[in-house]
Structures are given as C-alpha cells and as structure tokens.
Amino acid sequence: MKKNTLKILVILLILSSCNNKVEAIFKISNQTGFEIDSLKIEPMVIQDGKYISLKPEEEIKYSSDMTGIAKIDGNYRISYHQNGETIVKDFGYYTNGYPLEDLTIIEILSDTILIKSEIDNTY
C-alpha cells in the first residue's frame, strides 16, 4: 500500500511540473487619441511575438509567454507604430526567466508611456 501511494505521488508530481506556464501579464491602455498599431511587449530575448492594435481609449490585457526563454535576468521591450512613427521603450525586470510582478499596468499617452507594477505579496 505504501509503495502504491508513493508511486502515485511521484506520478502526480511529475505531471503537475510539466504544465508550468510562465507568463508576464500586462494591462495596456491607449490614451493617445490615435490608433496604435503593431504593438508588442516581449522579454528582450524574444524577437517574435504577437502584435495587436489599440483604438483610442481602448484597454486590454496582454500576456507574454516566457515559458521557453532561458533562465536569465533581463527586461521587457514595448514597441508600436503611431502616426507613422515606431516607438520602442525598454522597461521592467525579470529574473531567472520569471516576472517579478503579477501585473504591469501600461498607459500610453501622446508624449510618454507610464508603467506601474503590481506585486501581490500574500504568500
């Protein structure tokens, strides 16, 4: 009986560890008065990613999959097109391939980008 219980626990541990998806979550709002096109937020080590567009006053949640990146420290990069211009900004920090914050709130204004991190320390 103890042998079977141990086997079951080992199998459950293996199965649960295989499904660890690491994501950085962003809440983005467009306060520019213009449409933002080809917006992407990714860790610096990821060149490709998903692109989105935001209408004026639109707010969305955006997640960046960090599961497959190397377990290194780095920062994020936001890039987008607005009025024919490409805007690129580096921000934030992740460590060992994991985000430090639970949510990053990004407010895009006509002349700047405001970034605020939320960390839940209820553990």
Q: What is the DSSP letter of 100?
A: S
The confidence score (pLDDT) of residue 13 equals 65
pTM assigned to the model: 0.79
What distance lies between CA 77 and its chain's CA centroid? 10
∠ CA(44), CA(30), CA(113), 5° rounding? 50
Q: Among residues 77, 73, 64, which one has the least CA distance to residue 25?
A: 64
What averages of pLDDT result for each successive group of 10 residues across the chain (123 residues)?
A: 73 64 94 92 80 95 89 93 90 93 95 92 65
Q: Which domains does the chain have, with CATH numbers?
A: 22-118 (2.60.40.2890)
